[in-house]
Amino acid sequence: MAGSYRISGQGRLTPAKTARFTFDGKAMTGLAGDTVASALLANGVHLVGRSFKYHRPRGILSAGAEEPNALVTVERDAARKTPNVRATVQELYDGLTVNSQNRWPSLSFDVGAVNDLASPFFSAGFYYKTFMWPKAAWHKFYEPNIRAAAGLGVAPDQPDPDHYAAHYAHCEVLVLGGGAAGIAAALAAAETGVRVILCDEQAEFGGALRFEKGAVIDGQDGWSWAQGAVATLAAMDNVTVLSRTTAFGYYAQNFVGLVERVTDHLARPGRDEPRERLWQVRAKRVVIATGAIERHMVFANNDRPGVMLASAARTFLNHYGVVVGKNVGVYTANDSAYAAAIDLKKAGVGVAAIVDLRDNPAGPLVDEARALGIEVNHGRAVTSANGSQRIKSMTVQAKGGGAERTIAVDALLMSAGWTPSVHMFSQSRGKVAFDDATKRFLPGTYAQDCVSIGACNGSDSLEDTVAQALEAGANAARDAGAKSSKGVALKVEASEGWTGGMLGAGPGAGAGTTVKAFVDFQNDVTAKDIRQAVHEGMRSIEHIKRFTTNGMATDQGKTSNMHGLAIAAEALDKQIPQVGLTTFRAPYTPVTFGAIVNHARHGLFDPTRKTPTHSWAESHGAVFEDVGQWKRAWYFPRAGEDMHAAVDRECVTVRKSAGLFDASTLGKIEVVGPDAAKFMELLYTNPWEKLEVGRCRYGIMLREDGFIYDDGVVGRLAADRFHVTTTTGGAARVMNHMEDYLQTEFPNLDVWLTSISEHWAVIAVQGPNSRKIIEPLVEGIDMSDEAMPHMSVREGKICGVPTRLFRMSFTGDRGFEVNVPADYGRAVWEALWAEGQKHGACAYGTEAMHVLRAEKGYIIVGQDTDGTVTPNDAGLDWAVGKKKTDFVGIRGMMRPDLLAKGRKQLVGLKTKDPRTVLEEGAQIVENPKQAIPMKMIGHVTSSYWSANCDRSIALALVAGGRDRLGETLYVPMPDGVIEVEVTGAVFFDEKGDRLNG
């Protein structure tokens, strides 16, 4: 057998299918179908981890997703190291490597366990109180040390090599949970033909049927029925069955997040298989069938390895064929633990005693236990579990006190009853209601189109559950639009029924004691901590939760919330409903970052946009810069050139001969319709009605507040057709801004907008030789100064393909922008390049473009403006149509503050030392000797070395700047104060002769 605690003839795994694994380096053998937890238990291992705060030895509490204790690290290789994996969820595969965590140097001897002895200092709220002083010590000392000591597992330090997938999915009926309830509901819904998705977090469907041996449905034992029913569902075209799939979040309008674990259980995952798959499901109806979670008993040292939930022990036996001890005790307030004792006893395990807190437990299970010869103690409590790294005995005492009796056990099974799993319902914003008779919160008021069925809805019998489920499934399908229904019938022939349960601390852990009776195992919260929180003045359950951290661990308080609430209610002397329940939040269980990020990694993290001539620039040595999502050629260094040398050469070459520049990223919008000019009048400050066809104009766009929003050159192609350009970064928002006004403020205008940004590649050819370079390639356009003056646009052909040829300049020299359909961009660029070579032209990048425009004082929106700059501030009053009565921003511009004296205005700055280049963003002051903080009167917006001017140049926004021409101002920097002279913004060819040069 794989492990000495595996019993032959028990469980559903195949003994021949063994799987080897290691735990903390020790080789062990389990069976295919085991979880790490069942395999460890089969090998007699109970001690699997150390607790979060006190480093107490911990074992395995549960057999499912609610596990707070048994957190381990699973390692496939150096990069695939997953910490905080629940041993009760991780399936075994051959070659699996598992390590315990939060211990040093070893699990059995852990230095951090000194925290347990020092625990009086670590009580509730201790972080908030203890590390307050000295303040500086927090970052340097306290926090790093606390983090190191109170950690869980260690995150891998290498990139995640796995890939993760995602799907949006739609269905009529989504069923959350694949126990008897979920399966029955899915059968009823699927039969109608509507799309059904059924998911369950376990590897196999069946839910509680995994351990409930007593169920018989349609003539089969419950588990076999479940497997058959799910196979039937999986074979239906309209059904998607997802195992190993956790519904972790329930969002607005029946939008539910599921995460499917695809390869974590495989020894050798396929190369293309995603590790996990995120399903974002939109369902017309959701059936919540999430079952119930067993609670532990709260008593002293209830966290000792070997102390576990009764249903877990039963699962390990009935499903995995593993006994959790040879001589077990049972401590319960609920019938269901009797079933565990009975199953174990029948499997040959010694049951030392059942200790039942109830005074008069009765019913068939109690009778059967007694009939089997098990000692049943009623009205008694276990007041302590004894032992350190494994329970050795339990101390039993009458409820009201009295003589103690110690009973030797090697495992203790406990049950305080079952908590309906209302997480998904609560996340859907449904309101839970407290059922006083059964002391549990159940779904109350629904907020979405969903329904809860089975144990999560308070059903305690399988007959009820199945009947509810069939009705709910059929109704959900019908409400979601199913046309017909034949109905599904299921016959429950035998089932188990349980009663009982208790909330809060048991005897011996009641008020006044300081024993460690754990409520929240994962965050090491004891009954005493919760009372202390109340004692220190916490009244709201939300405050108590945060002060004690009860329920705040990654297990979301699945086992602890109700106990914590009951203890708080008792301490507050209030009823539970008056204290209220904390909010359930997504995720239900931890979700990997990989699943959340899924495809959006590496090249798919964000689109990388490349222009049609990108490959040419690449092959010509361009260095690229990121401009939004675009890659733009920044400069083209030649051999031996650094950036500075390359940019200087490019700037000089453009003004001496010519340069080619890729301007394809500019936004371009075609404005078409009889009211096109009228629309342009409203969206731009400039006048457009009288712009002749074939001419261009530099336009400024404002927001309604009167500040500059965008700018660009606009060409009129026809009376009813404009070709508008925008800044690269503004392309999308300008289009949205224009559409907004067109659709909602000026809907009566007959005009339409179309983005043509990506239809046209744009090659700027600038410099005195620009015409000579283009002319030989052009057909049908007279490029003479007379026929095609500065600021004009012509349509024709270049290299045999259509072009919109603009004569315009962003350098101050004669210039053109050649628009060609994008797919021809590279070929036309190459043809222009070949022509350019004849004239000594160069290719230049965005850096030289910036310098050249700054030499002319041309602004870049977003660099020289910041959303608070008016056309007047920028010295662009000339571009505002003075006779216009309306355009966007006309009223905003007239606001008193925007007309006030002393506004920051765009000016030039020349450093007194021409070699000094200012830093962009540097602040400007009048008097550098004033006390700090100095009064700042402006800042540098653009600053470059200008090879053409043979000095540094800068643009700046300075308060009252245009009245300060000639003044000396100061730029204080860390290593000294720089003296500057305020000048006009034009540094080169002030008269503008070169536009026609």
Partner 1 sequence: MLLIHCPYCEEERPELEFRNAGEAHIARSTNIAAESDEDFEKFFFIRSNPKGVIFERWRHIHGCARFFNVARDTITDRFLLTYKAGEPKPDIATLSSEAGPAAWANRPPDQLNEKPRAKRSTKGEA
Partner 2 sequence: MAKLATATRSPALAGKSIGGQGVSLKVLEPAGRMSLRARPAAVAALSRALGVTLPQKSKTSAAKHGRFALWLGPDEWLVIDEAGADLLADCSSVKGLHSAVDVSHRNVGIAVAGPNAALVINAGCPQDLSLQAFPVGACSRTVLGKVEIVLLRTGEDAFRVECWRSFSDYVYGFLSEAARG
Strand partners, 398: 380
Q: Which stretch binds partner 1 (CB under 8 A): 127-135, 438-446, 618-626, 779-787?
A: 438-446
Q: Which does 448 bind (CB under 5 to 8 A by kind): partner 2, partner 1, none?
A: partner 1
Smaller CB distance to partner 2: residue 200 or 276? 276
Q: Does 621 bind partner 2 (CB under 8 A)?
A: no
Return the residue of 758, 920, 967, 979 that touches partner 2, per CB under 8 A.
758
Given candidates 17, 129, 167, 491, which one binds partner 2 under the rule CB under 8 A?
A: 167
Burial code of 966-987, b = ≥16 C-beta within 10 A, e = fewer? eeebbbbeeeeebebebbebbb
Instruction: Name which of partner 2, partner 1, none residue 500 binds, using a CB cut-off of 5 to 8 Å depending on partner kind.
Output: partner 1
Distance CA 717, CA 796 (A): 12
**Nearest Cα to Cα of residue 465 among 822, 144, 226, 159:** 226
What phi and psi, each to the nearest 5 degrees, are found at residue 723?
-110, 105
- Report the nearest approach of partner 2 to the CB of residue 229 (Å): 25
Q: Does 670 bind partner 1 (CB under 8 A)?
A: no
Which one of partner 1, partner 2, none interacts with residue 42, CB within 5 to 8 A by kind?
none
Using CA of residue 215, residue 218, residue 224, residue 227, what is the dihedral sign?
negative
Smallest separation (angstroms) from partner 1 to the CB of 447: 4
Give me the 829-868 binding string for partner 1, x by CB under 8 A, dash otherwise. ----------------------------------------
State the number of binding residues for partner 2 (CB under 8 A). 59
Residues of span 259-278 touching partner 2 by CB under 8 A: 262, 272-274, 277
CB crowding 746-756: b at 16 or more within 10 Å, else e = beebebebebb
Do the Cβ atoms of 49 and 101 come closer than 8 Å? yes
Could you tell me if 330 and 350 are in contact, meaning their C-beta atoms sit under 8 angstroms apart? no
Identified binder of partner 1 from the candidate list 104, 251, 624, 752, rule CB under 8 A: 251
The tokens 């859907």 sit on which residue? 428
The DSSP symbol for 76 reads: S
Q: Please, which of residues 868-887 interact with partner 1 by CB under 8 A?
A: 885-886
Does 378 bind partner 1 (CB under 8 A)? Our answer is no
457 binds partner 1 (CB under 8 A): yes
Q: Considering only residues 606, 642, 913, 990, which one is a binding residue for partner 2 as defined by CB under 8 A?
A: 606
Nearer to partner 2, 489 or 732 (CB): 732
Spatial separation of the C-alpha atoms in residues 34 and 780, rounded to whole Å:
80
Establish if 782 lies at the interface with partner 2 (CB under 8 A). no
670 touches partner 2 by CB under 8 A: yes
- Determine if 759 is a binding residue for partner 2 (CB under 8 A): yes
The verdict on 743 binding partner 1 (CB under 8 A) reads yes
Directed axis angle between helix 561-572 and helix 527-535, to 10°? 40
**Which H/E stretch holds residue 469?**
helix 462-479
Residues 430-449 that bind partner 2 (CB under 8 A): none
Looking at residue 536, the DSSP 8-state letter turns out to be T
Tokens describing residue 666: 């500019």
479-498: which residues touch partner 1 (CB under 8 A)?
A: 479, 497
Which amino acid, residue 160?
Answer: D
Q: Is 201 exposed, middle or buried (0-12, 13-18, 19+ CB in 10 A)?
A: buried
Q: Within 127-166, which residues bind partner 2 (CB under 8 A)?
A: 163, 165-166
Confirm if 656 and 768 have CB atoms less than 8 A apart.
yes
CA 941 – CA 42 distance, rounded (Å): 71
Q: Are strands 165-176 and 196-199 parallel, antiparallel or unpaired?
A: parallel
The DSSP 8-state label assigned to residue 880 in this structure reads S
**Bridge partners of residue 91, in order along the sequence:** 35
Nearer to partner 1, 580 or 881 (CB): 881
**Of 653, 618, 613, nearest in space to 636 by CA:** 618
* Rounded distance between C-alpha atoms, residue 637 and residue 634, angstroms: 10
CA angle 639, 642, 645 (to 5 degrees): 95
Query: Which residues on neighbouring strands pair with residue 166, listed in sequence order?
Result: 278
Residue 901 Cβ, how far from partner 2 at the closest point, in Å? 46
Residue 420 or 699: which CB sits closer to partner 1? 420
Among 32, 216, 398, 442, binds partner 1 (CB under 8 A): 442
Out of 362, 600, 693, 899, point to the residue binding partner 2 (CB under 8 A). 600
- How many residues are there in the chain? 997
Assess 757 for contact with partner 1 (CB under 8 A): no
Instruction: From the list partner 2, partner 1, none, pick the one residue 743 interacts with, judged by a Cβ distance below 5 to 8 Å according to partner type.
Output: partner 1
* Radius of gyration (C-alpha) of the chain in whole angstroms: 38
Taking the CA atoms of residue 100, residue 106, residue 112 and residue 114 in that order, the dihedral angle to the nearest 10 degrees is: 130
575 vs 754, beta carbon nearer partner 2: 754
755 binds partner 2 (CB under 8 A): yes
Stretch binding partner 2 (CB under 8 A), from 100-108, 110-118, 428-436, 796-804:
796-804
Residue 578: strand, helix, or coil? helix
Query: Which stretches of the chain bind partner 2, using CB under 8 A?
Result: 163, 165-170, 195, 262, 272-274, 277, 280, 282, 599-600, 603-604, 606-612, 629-630, 670, 672-674, 750-752, 754-760, 776-777, 779, 798-801, 820-828, 831
Q: Which spans of this chain sit near partner 1 (rule: CB under 8 A)? A: 168, 251-255, 280, 282, 285, 429, 435, 437-438, 442-453, 457-461, 464-465, 468, 471-472, 475, 479, 497, 499-501, 704-705, 736, 739-740, 743-745, 747, 885-886, 890-892, 894-896
